[in-house]
A and B are shown apart, each in its own frame.
Chain A
Amino acid sequence: MMPSPPNWAQALLRVFVKRADFDCVSGDLLEAYRDTVHPVRGQLAADVWYVTQVLWFVIRGARISATLFAAAFLTRTALDWLVPPLDFHARSTASTLLGVGLLLATGLQASRRSGSLLAGTLTGVATTAIAAIVSVVGAAILLTIWHGAGTMAAIRASGGLGEVFELPILMILPGAVLGTLGGMAGAMIKRPGSSQ
């Protein structure tokens, strides 16, 4: 019996690769896994190799939305620190709507690309998880640049440092929910020329 990579990783690949390309891409990876990687490195290392290859597609699939999401978060953070408003309500509403819209659109686009409803959920998670890393690192850089008394007062007034570093991570769950909703919308919109 020929060795096989983890089923969940193959399922994840299906979600992040275009339907039309899945057979060729997964076939190429499976061939490399069985032909070269597994015989040389053994089961565990070969599985790690396969998962790493799949993660490349995951990151590629979510990179644009994650960049936009992180950019929105960091822009909002910088504005709150440098141009603090008297009332945060309008700014919060605008940034929340932007984030929600972005995640819905990401889920919709992902499910239409792969033809899988799950794609919306997983892309929402990948988007917010990658954005969380970028946002936390970006916020730390902003803090290194701007940490005067006025800025620290503005940070306290806008929710404190805890919010700056925890909010991006807390967004992963809403990212899953909104990505799923976007994915459901994408599944309901029939693709032009699709027979499904």
Chain B
Amino acid sequence: MADRLGAFEQAVLLGIVRLGEDAYGRAILREVQTRLEREVAAGAVHATLERLEKKGVISSRLGPGTPVRGGRARRFYHLQPSGLRALNDARAAIDSLWHGLKWPLRGYV
């Protein structure tokens, strides 16, 4: 069974999926902030990427820097098969939880 993912891990992984070949730290941070509609610490995204890479859910490679970064390298991330399975499992779990309920919920309180 694939690793269970937390909500923030899912946000980061889905950011990588959406960005495709352009998924590096800063771009993922921006994507996560946009989707979650809140300020997120860059360190939180880096820590999550590090943890996911240790789990083998994603892999990374170094790429060239840009002038705005002072020439510093970028680390590009790619989803691994276990990451894809984990995301699909997470989606299936949510779908199962909501099965049979109309969204948005009304009339239960």
Contact = CB atoms under 8 A, between A and B. Distances in A.
Interface in B45-97: 46-47, 50, 62, 65-70, 72-75
Contacts of B36: none
B68 A60 contact: no
Interface in A146-171: none
A34 B26 CA distance: 12
Contacts of B72: 23-24, 26-27, 30
Interface in A1-60: 2, 21, 23-32, 34-36, 52-53, 56-57, 60
Contacts of A2: 67-68
Given A24-B75, A56-B44, A60-B47, A30 B25 contact: no
Residues of A contacting B: mostly: helix
Nearest to B63: A24
A24 B25 contact: yes
Given A30-B68, A31-B66, A24 B29 contact: no
Interface string B26-45: 10011000000000011110
Contacts of A56: 41-44
A35 B68 contact: yes
B70 A27 contact: yes
A39 to B, nearest CB: 11
Contacts of A29: 42
Band of interface residues on B: 20 to 34
Contacts of B41: 52-53, 56
B47, B67, B70, B73, most chain A CB atoms within 10 A: B70
B74 A24 contact: yes
Given A23-B72, A24-B75, A27-B73, A32 B43 contact: no
B70 A30 contact: yes
B26 A28 contact: yes
Contacts of B50: 21
A27 B69 contact: yes
A42 to B, nearest CB: 17
A26 to B, nearest CB: 6
Nearest to B76: A24
Contact of B69 (A31, A36, A52, A60): A31
A25 B26 CA distance: 9
Contacts of A57: 43
B26, B41, B47, B67, most chain A CB atoms within 10 A: B26
Contacts of B74: 24, 27-28
B42 A53 contact: yes
Contacts of A31: 26, 66, 68-69
B29 A32 contact: yes
B92 to A, nearest CB: 32
